[in-house]
Amino acid sequence: MSTPIELHFYNKNNELIKTYKQDRISWDFLKRAVKIRDVNTLDESNIDIITEFVCEFYGNCFSKFGKKANKRTLLKHTDVEQLLAVAGQIITRVMNMMKENGVSLPNVPAATK
């Protein structure tokens, strides 16, 4: 079993209130991790993709009131460093697993107009 990827939640006084742990990366995260890895700009759309990616990695367990509340809860109790660190750890682990198993991504030519 791999070392768990941890996400810490803090209260308004910056005190640790909960730690979420996940060590299993499901198959559907392969495609999503590759997609996020290729993001070159940090705009509102990409921030939403990263936020949803982290929420779903932990099984949308941050709120019982649905996806929007789940994202709001995550953003309320974490910071940029936490979100990017978790996303980065997932992506790195996926890429390392691919390398260890001899899986390489094909070089796809850039689209032309």
> Is 29 inside a domain boundary?
yes
pLDDT, the chain, mean: 83
- Phi, psi dihedrals of residue 78, rounded to the nearest 5°: -125, 180
Within a domain: residue 21? yes
Collect all residues with Cβ–Cβ distance below 8 Å to 23 and sequence separation of at least 6: 1, 2, 3, 4, 5
In a domain, 86, yes or no: yes
9, β-bridge pairs: 18
Q: How far is CA 110 from CA 5, 107, 113, in A?
A: 33, 9, 10
pLDDT tens digits for range 10-41: 999 999 999 999 998 888 877 787 777 777 77
Please indicate, yes or no, if residue 88 is contained in any of the structural domains: yes
CB atoms within 10 A of CB 54: 25
Domain extent, residue 50, equals 5-100
pTM of the model: 0.78
**Domain total in the chain:** 1
